[in-house]
Amino acid sequence: MWKPMLPKLSESVPSTNDWAFEVKYDGFRAMLEITESGIQLISRNGKDLRPNFPEITGFCEEQLGKIRPFLPVRLDGEIVILNTPLQANFPILQQRGRMKRRDKIQEMASRRPASLLAFDILLKEGNKLTSNPYDVRKNLLFKLFHDLGWDGPVHGGKRIAFVPAYDQLEELREEVFTHFGEGIIAKRKKMPYEEGKRTGHWLKIKNWRNVKGVVTGFNPQNQYFQLSVYHEDQLVPLGSVKHGFSDEEYRTLSTTIRDRGKKSGRVYSVPPGICVQVHCLDATDGELREPVFDQFRLDLVPEECTAEEVKKDLLMFPDEVEVTHPDKVLWPEEYILKTDYMMYLRQISPYMLPFFNDKPLTLIRYPHGVQDTSFYQKHRADYAPDFVHSYEEDGEAYILCKNVSALIWLGNQGTIEFHTPFNRIRDPYPDEIVIDLDPPSRNAFPSAIQAARLLKGMCDQLGLHSFVKTSGNKGLQIHIPLPLQSLSYQESRHLTKSMAELLVKEHPDLFTVERLKKKRGNRLYIDYVQHWEGKTIIAPFSARATEEATVAAPLFWEEVNDSLDPTSFTIMTMPSRLKKMGSPWQDYDEKRNRQPIDRIRMLLGNLEAKV
């Protein structure tokens, strides 16, 4: 039976150059072995995982012709269901692992497919590689994936990906923090793969969440301390903790509970009085995930340990940002407070920040809420902290948002709407095309659905990968990612103008390209003119200044149907939607480089020849 090499938990990070660093994913450790006689997918405990993850084995079967020259091959990795490239969804994976019915497994595999993220190679062409140093094995694994065309992230039907290694820790640590990743693995470069051993040559550094609770019980038999928090003036269970105490801390706490507590059966209960802080990966339904005692919190009184504070602690707000006036009402109709909005921005940051990449922002700020006055801001304020970056052009400093701290800080300044240009700094070419579908009213939203479907059909015919989102108000927006420096604004305008005019020609009673509102009547306006240098569009996942606190929500194309309601996507619903369904735009960047630009240029040439 396969016995994997295991890492040791460490609070400190190696600082010498003989270490490499990888993302630690929150999933099921697994060995994938492919031979001429079959495919094995085995857990670290020897369980056959093939029935529960048919999409992984199915991908291997499809790729058997490619991989045959390298057989037999054995990979070590982690089975995950990804929310973002660095964030795995362990609860949904755990649910999948418990499933028995084949039809339910297939349904889940189609809706939220799992992937194997391979970080080591143990066998190739029948040659055992475990005695080779880590860096040699890593290079062999990378070359194999490159030869197979498996390099790059998981996407579409590709269900196996390569976990890269980094020599520098800090940038990776920041990315793991941003994405709520499980942690980082440090691996000594020159050491072999030691099967079945937990050694100091592999170290796991957890991306801990620190939550605070009140000690309310103790079970001497299993040595667990029960913790609780206040919710609406009532104590509710937070979870139990056993590990992390020094001998003296354990002895002091257990003795105090025995002296002051009340015994019922084998368990002691104690009135709230002692507050503690615990490391964990999550806290849900009265349970702590991988809890480790951190410290006593003598500075707190029990009433300060609340369920609301636990929610905030789990979101890992950056230390350098102070949220001011958290109880300010930003959306009066829904009674949404500033603290709710800050929590939304932190949760959405892994999904939102990639769309700010090298793009100067235009902000719309509502310092006193969406029903009060607002103003635009493009320039970086002189008082902005260093982590809010800028781009200087012609002596003007424009805002760049590169990290969680900057996003939270800008939100704390009253920024409700984030708008982005269509091109990146120092690049005159657009990196995406956006067509805005603007119906005359919310009641006319079905016309936006119809127009979006028709445009999707056009894109499909051209081989263009397209994405759709709500505008956050009354319309829809079609995004077409472009390879960098591929089409000019003039070329993209020619394309979108042709597509829009074709729709208007076929449905003149429904659609128009007339910019003057008074001439549109009840027709939907197809806005291709807004896509131009210097202009902006609402960013994906940005909130809007509507009564309902709606969001410019990326959609799956299959959601664009008659039941679509743009008001259902709000700052209160989006985080849970993303955890349940994943991001519809997860492969946006991957599709960027697969656009048929040569075919589009040929089409544009033909269009120009007809003019």
Please identify every residue annotated as catalytic: 24
Classify residue 237 as exposed, middle or buried by CB count within 10 Å of its CB (0-12, 13-18, 19+). middle
Q: What is the distance between the alpha carbons of residues 31 and 40, in angstroms, rounded to a whole number?
A: 8
Radius of gyration of the chain measured on its C-alpha atoms: 27
Q: Are strands 115-124 and 160-162 parallel, antiparallel or unpaired?
A: parallel
Long-range contacts of 606-609 (CB under 8 A, 24+ apart): 607/494, 607/498, 608/494
Distances from the Cα of 564 to the Cα of 448, 450, 455, 550, 559, angstroms: 11, 12, 17, 14, 7
Ramachandran class of 358: left when φ > 0, alpha when ψ lies in -120 to 50, beta otherwise: left
Report the DSSP beta bridge partners of residue 24.
183
Could you say which DSSP state residue 522 is in?
T
> 54-62 and 102-111 are packed helices; what angle lies between their axes, rounded to 10 degrees?
70
Strands (E), 25-159: 28-35, 38-43, 73-80, 82-84, 87-88, 115-124, 127-128
DSSP readout, 382-433? TT--TTSEEEEETTEEEEE--SHHHHHHHHHTTEEEEEEESB-TT--SBSEE
What 3-state DSSP class applies to 480? strand
Q: What is the distance between the alpha carbons of residues 382 and 388, in angstroms, rounded to a whole number?
A: 10
Q: What is the distance between the alpha carbons of residues 495 and 528, in angstroms, rounded to a whole number?
A: 9
Q: What is the distance between the alpha carbons of residues 171 and 354, in angstroms, rounded to a whole number?
A: 15
What 3-state DSSP class applies to 440? coil
Q: What is the distance between the alpha carbons of residues 472 and 550, in angstroms, rounded to a whole number?
A: 5
Classify residue 569 as exposed, middle or buried by CB count within 10 Å of its CB (0-12, 13-18, 19+). buried
Report the DSSP beta bridge partners of residue 213.
276
Q: Which residues contact 472 (CB under 8 A, 6 or more apart)?
A: 538, 542, 543, 544, 546, 550, 551, 552, 553, 566, 569
